[in-house]
Amino acid sequence: MEFVSTRGLSKPVGFIDAVAQGLAPDGGLYLPRDFPDLSDRLEHWQALDYPGLCYEFFKLFAVDMEDAVLKHCVDSAYSTFTHPEIAPIRSLSKNLKVMELFHGPTLAFKDFALQLLGNFYEAQISRTGKELTILGATSGDTGAAAISGLIGKKGLKVFILYPEGKVSPLQERQMTCTGAENVFPLAIEGTFDDAQHTVKEIFSDLNFRELVGLSAVNSINLARILAQSVYYLYAWLRLDPVERKETSFVVPTGNFGNVFAGWLLTKMGVDFPEFRVATNQNDVLHRLFSTGEYSLGSVCPSLAPSMDIQVASNFERLLYFILDKDAHEVRKVMEAFRREGKYCFEKFLGDGFSSSSASDTEIPALIKSVSAQSDYLVDPHTACAFKDLDPARPSMILATAHPAKFPSVYEQAGMAIPKHSSLQELLARTPRRFRLSVDSKSIRSFIEEQTLHENG
Ligand SMILES: *Cc1c(COP(=O)(O)O)cnc(C)c1O
């Protein structure tokens, strides 16, 4: 199994290298060169529990990992979840199901990928003896989940950039109150897109990458995508044959990572009739799917901050398929997009996708109406998924975070404030963070100081 870059100028690599590198050296994103056909396996897989399914799925891609190591990585990743089913599905009404993806240690779906990725890194370090430096940008949940997956791992240092004042106070505490020595939360002035841009710039410095053994945890890492594909498969296997043909998977979306992970299964012989891309007021993807124009807007902070994104990195992976896997064309489109800040698709791959966008006035209203109709409390990201739902169509909503992570939204809406014990504990701890300016030079030298000169 080989992994190729969407931009076609990097050598194909195996799974271990694709994971360790994150971003391909040519600036592209890794994808499997060929896709396994799952259709013959699905019946057998129906009986598997979550870790069992995850292991069988990854075995098809991680062929260069020892089975026992892979199994250990998977089992220990999901042992940190507090619900026995890992991704339980609740039925709110005849046509409405919710898959709860917030039972991991940081109460957001990103734990699914990052608990596993942390174990992959650990396995890699113990195999090669080479230390790794993890760098990422976060709009809140990624940083918390990445840090939780990487705390205390030997030979690993984690640097997470986040826009100061633009992540929720509890999310910030999840990053800064871990007490872990190998974790460096970097508070920067600017937006998430500024932070992500700086991270990309640092990754494009190949000498620096080599020097500190840099790897990415953003949703550009292929292991994250594949880890997320597993819960779509798990949910699909729990539907009956008629539901499988009709159910639309509705996904709160920012960077396009989560929904892309589901869509990728359609390349492996699993039929999903529709994915619905639910955005907040930062609607670059809603505009794309409704008009065919992919254009940069400015980020407008919203009540669903983990989706405050106007450049959806993983879109490049979809683009690769839209352009019939022609890496040369991908480079041309990405270059045009960088120059012009927009790109218009004449023939757009609308098939299989629909979209919606919920404003900041709609989010509290949606939370209240779901609560009134179904006696179920959703977080502000998940609330976006309830916008413009067709009640006649079966929907599987992906609930991406626990409401207790965003108390101020409920407070402002005059609702009871949801709580969760793991968050209450954080309030007693002292935060540790580092304020840096967002230019790549000062961030590079900070990383260098912490990784190379720590004993000098
Ligand atoms: C990250 C996040 C999203 C968006 O996921 P993408 O992979 O960026 O599309 C949605 N909801 C929550 C709670 C998140 O943390």
Each domain of the chain, given as residue ranges in start order, spans 89-107+223-419
pLDDT at 310 over 80: no
71 is catalytic: no
> What is the model's pLDDT at position 185?
96
Average pLDDT over residues 418-446: 93
Of 373, 446, 5, 363, the closest CA to residue 187 belongs to 446
* Token pair 């979840």 in the structure block, residue: 81
What is the residue-averaged pLDDT of the chain? 93
Produce one character per residue of 324-362: b if its CB has 16 or more CB atoms within 10 Å, e if not. Answer: eeebeebbebbeebeeeeebebeebeeeebbbbbbeeeb
Atom of ligand 1 nearest to the CA of 379: 13
Mutate to test the pocket of ligand 1, among 250, 258, 315 (most ligand atoms within 8 A of CB): 258
User: Is 307 a pocket residue for ligand 1 (Cβ < 6 Å)?
Assistant: yes
pLDDT band at 121 (very low <50, low <70, confident <90, very high): very high
Average pLDDT over residues 4-26: 93
Q: What span, in angstroms and rounded, lies between the C-alpha atoms of 446 and 439?
A: 11
* Confidence check: pLDDT of 31 > 60: yes
Q: What is the pLDDT of residue 348?
A: 65
| Cα–Cα distance, 256 to 39 (Å, whole number) | 25
Residue 112 beta carbon below 6 angstroms from any ligand 1 atom:
no
Whether 136 lines ligand 1, by a CB cut-off of 6 Å, is: no
Q: Is the CB of 254 under 6 A from ligand 1?
A: yes
Nearest 5°: the CA angle 230, 234, 240 is 145
- What's the average model confidence in pLDDT over 39-60? 97
Are the C-beta atoms of 64 and 72 separated by less than 8 Å? Answer: no
The pLDDT of residue 312: 81
Average pLDDT of span 220-229:
94
Which of the two residues, 454 and 437, has the higher pLDDT score? 437
Which of the pair, 196 or 372, is modelled with greater confidence? 372
Q: Is the pLDDT of residue 208 over 50?
A: yes
Classify 434 as helix, strand or coil. strand
Q: Is the CB of 256 under 6 A from ligand 1?
A: yes
| 400 CA → ligand 1 middle, Å | 7
Q: Which residue, by CA, sits nearest to atom 12 of ligand 1?
A: 400
Q: Does 260 have pLDDT greater than 90?
A: yes
pLDDT of residue 309: 80
CB atoms within 10 A of CB 241: 6
Q: Where is pLDDT greater, at 62 or 220?
A: 62
Q: Is the CB of 219 under 6 A from ligand 1?
A: yes
Lowest mean pLDDT among 136-145, 172-181, 239-248, 265-274: 136-145
CA of 144 to the centre of ligand 1 (A): 12
Is the CB of residue 378 less than 8 Å from the CB of residue 298?
A: no
* CATH dotted code for 89-107+223-419: 3.40.50.1100
In short, whether 144's Cβ falls inside 6 Å of ligand 1 is no
Query: To test the ligand 1 pocket, which listed residue (101, 141, 229, 283) has its Cβ within 8 A of the most ligand atoms?
Result: 141
Catalytic residue among 110, 153, 166, 200: 110
**What is the 258 CA–ligand 1 centroid distance (Å)?**
7
Ligand 1 centre distance from Cα of residue 23 (Å): 19
Residue 297 pLDDT greater than 90, yes or no: no
Q: Is 306 in the pocket of ligand 1 (CB under 6 A)?
A: yes
Say if residues 386 and 370 touch (Cβ distance below 8 Å): yes
Q: Is 105 in the pocket of ligand 1 (CB under 6 A)?
A: no
Which pLDDT does position 350 carry in this prediction? 66
Q: Which atom of ligand 1 is nearest to the CA of 140?
A: 15
Query: Residue 23: pLDDT above 90?
Result: no
Q: How far is the CA of 139 from the centre of ligand 1 (A)?
A: 9
pLDDT band at 347 (very low <50, low <70, confident <90, very high): low
* Residue 456, pLDDT above cutoff 80: no
Place 20 in a pLDDT band, splitting at 50, 70 and 90. Answer: confident
The pLDDT value given to residue 455: 46
SS3 state of residue 97: strand
pLDDT of residue 168: 83
96 strand-pairing partners? 93, 395
Residue 258 alpha carbon, nearest atom of ligand 1:
7
Note the pLDDT of residue 454.
57
Average of per-residue pLDDT across 395-414: 96
Q: For position 192, what pLDDT does the model report? A: 83
The string of DSSP codes covering 395-413 is EEEEE-B-GGG-HHHHHHT
Adjacent-strand bridge partners of 250: 276, 397
Q: In whole angstroms, give the CA distance from residue 223 to residue 109.
A: 14
- Per-residue pLDDT at 299: 82
